[in-house]
Amino acid sequence: MKKDGDTMKQKLIAENVDVFYGEKQAINNISLGINENTITALIGPSGCGKSTFLRCLNRMNDVIDTCKISGKILMDNTDIYGTEVDPVELRAKVGMVFQKPNPFPKSIFENIAYGPRIHGLASNNSELKDIVLSSLEKAGLIDEVKDRLDDQATGLSGGQQQRICIARAIAVSPEVILMDEPCSALDPIATAKIEELMNELSQSYTIVIVTHSMQQAARVSKKTAFFHLGDLIEYNDTDKIFTQPENEKTQDYITGRFG
């Protein structure tokens, strides 16, 4: 259904983004556009700035005091670093799933319901319950947990916990979901489930995923960006990147010669 990436609408556009941690520059002048309702993978060796870039997209870097960002990141043609944008509102539109499953040490229901609650998305309890159930359904978890919504989320398996985190992100109806190595703490079976889920979600959400696994990037993403030492080396359709990379460094990395 998505034939040509270049003609698609771009949901997020980064223009000349630099990020500094104190004196140290983590990202050098990166510009890249992320297509709507597509999975975009960010790959590269550790410390290449891909997670930093991801965290710029929902302003999670604001939390770090020493972090300074310059350049523009446009979401639907609004600069998300503009003065009129509230990072709290932005994060409701740009959800995030972290490397390690981090459900709140509360019940499954409370985990999913927290987001809708703070954003006032449900006017009463039955609406809230509907949101929780539909989020769990979209995250493919409903059959596994529907009888134990009051159990502690931390008691679930790692893969289930990660899907709880995805359901939790979905529950606030975001437009973009950022995933920071979502499968690095999971076994292959749980990983397969999450990848399948990502595929389904990409129908209605723009997904950006940071991954260390080249196979994962190749399996799930439509477009791939290769980062190295804070530079964007190559950004293209995933098929192209993995079959005929233009840059030698990309070639070396995907064939496992470094990184």
Binding site for another protein (CB under 8 A): 58, 60, 63, 65, 88-92, 95-96, 98, 100, 102-105, 114-115, 118-119, 154, 165, 168-169, 172
98: amino acid identity, one letter: F
Give the nearest distance from C-beta 233 to another protein in angstroms: 28
State the Cα torsion 219-98-35-93 to the nearest 10°.
150
Pairing of strands 67-75, 223-228: unpaired
Whether the CA torsion 94, 201, 182, 159 is positive or negative: it is: positive
Give the nearest distance from C-beta 100 to another protein in angstroms: 6
At 16, which helix (H) or strand (E)? strand 10-21
Nearer to another protein, 50 or 55 (CB): 55
Nearer to another protein, 36 or 62 (CB): 62
Give the nearest distance from C-beta 58 to another protein in angstroms: 7
Nearer to another protein, 63 or 189 (CB): 63
Give the nearest distance from C-beta 46 to another protein in angstroms: 19
Nearer to another protein, 104 or 192 (CB): 104
User: Both ends of the chain: CA-CA distance in Å?
Assistant: 34
Give the nearest distance from C-beta 47 to another protein in angstroms: 19
Give the nearest distance from C-beta 239 to another protein in angstroms: 31
Please provide residue 172's backbone torsions phi and psi, each rounded to the nearest 5 degrees.
-95, 15
Q: How far is it, in rounded angstroms, from Cα 53 to Cα 210?
A: 10
**DSSP-based three-state secondary structure for 49:** coil
Give the nearest distance from C-beta 16 to another protein in angstroms: 26
Tokens of 31: 């510009």
Q: What residue ranges in 36-77 does DSSP mark as E strands?
A: 39-43, 67-75
Nearer to another protein, 154 or 247 (CB): 154
Nearer to another protein, 33 or 115 (CB): 115
Nearer to another protein, 102 or 213 (CB): 102
- Neighbouring CB atoms inside 10 A of 19's CB total 22
Tokens of 221: 């993403």
DSSP label at residue 152: B
